[in-house]
Amino acid sequence: MINIAIVDDEKEQLNTIREKTQAWFDSNEKVCGISVFDDPKLFRESYTPSRYDLIFLDIDMKPVNGMSIAKHIRKTGDPTTIVFITNLARFALKGYEVQAFDFIVKPVVDNVFYYKLNRIVSFCERSQKNMIPIRLPEKTLYVDEREIYYVECLNHYLVYHTEKGDFTEWNTLKKVMESLSDTRFSLCNRGYLVNLSYVDALKLNSVVVHEEELLISRSRKKEFFEAVSKYRGR
């Protein structure tokens, strides 16, 4: 399912885009959820990262324009797909500043819209992944679970060792495990949750994960070895 937000302060255009989008999904036997917003300021103030897979944004809106909203979205760390819909084509070309996927010029032409929507949805489907929120003091960072090497528990803090670096938050392994793939991650002891994709080597009482050697506890040894074997044998 693709969750979509459409933000346009012109209600007629808003409804047109919604109807065309729903028609495309119906004709292609795909499922989507569409939320519409004719108040750009309200959308920005109520925005929750990772809620939408795709956001259609008009650029020329008041009192808050679409480019400003797109910058706000990116500051949250949300990698959601942004598509500008506007009659200001020259401004849409600045979309690279906020990693916009594409832009569609008003008035919306059916064949152009459906052609682009096909590309956009295909990209969204390929991009759908399990993004894990890491609550840092200054912001919430969203990290693809595939980029996590392992999670280390230090008292009531968790340290995420990832491709982007190490990040620490106040949390518990139990809560994090509920949001992670149970086939990709496994505990080697009470203090380490390992991404099995990065297991370099298994030793008698330890595991090498991305060149780091972690202790395997006696109580977890059998289950952890079985998890590694099952993952490698997929």
**For residue 115, pLDDT beyond 60:** yes
All residues at 6 or more sequence positions from 177 whose CB lies less than 8 Å from its CB, including other chains:
185, 187, 193
Predicted local distance difference test score (pLDDT) of residue 92:
58
- Rounded Cα gap, residues 83 and 105, in angstroms: 11
Predicted local distance difference test score (pLDDT) of residue 234:
54
Mean pLDDT of 70-88: 89
Shared fold status for 2-127 and 138-232: no
Task: Convert the pLDDT of each residue in 42-73 to its tens digit.
Answer: 999 999 887 899 999 999 899 999 999 999 99
Exposed, middle or buried, 207 (CB in 10 Å: 0-12/13-18/19+)?
Answer: buried
Mean pLDDT of 107-123: 94
**For residue 232, pLDDT beyond 90:** no
Predicted local distance difference test score (pLDDT) of residue 219:
96
**For residue 220, pLDDT beyond 70:** yes
CA-CA-CA-CA torsion sign (74, 80, 86, 90)? positive
Mean pLDDT of 106-123: 94
Tell me yes or no: is domain 138-232 CATH 3.40.50.800: no
Predicted local distance difference test score (pLDDT) of residue 132:
87
State in Å, rounded, how far the first CA of the chain is from the last one: 26
Band of the pLDDT at 91, cuts 50, 70, 90? low
Predicted local distance difference test score (pLDDT) of residue 11:
95
- Rounded Cα gap, residues 34 and 132, in angstroms: 23
pTM of the model: 0.61
Q: What is the CATH number of domain 2-127?
A: 3.40.50.2300
Cα dihedral value 83, 87, 89, 90, nearest 10: -120
Task: Convert the pLDDT of each residue in 168-202 to its tens digit.
Answer: 999 999 999 988 877 789 999 999 999 998 999 99
Predicted local distance difference test score (pLDDT) of residue 41:
96
What are the domain boundaries of the chain? 2-127, 138-232
Q: 112: which 2 tokens?
A: 């152009």
> How confident is the prediction for the chain on average, in pLDDT?
91
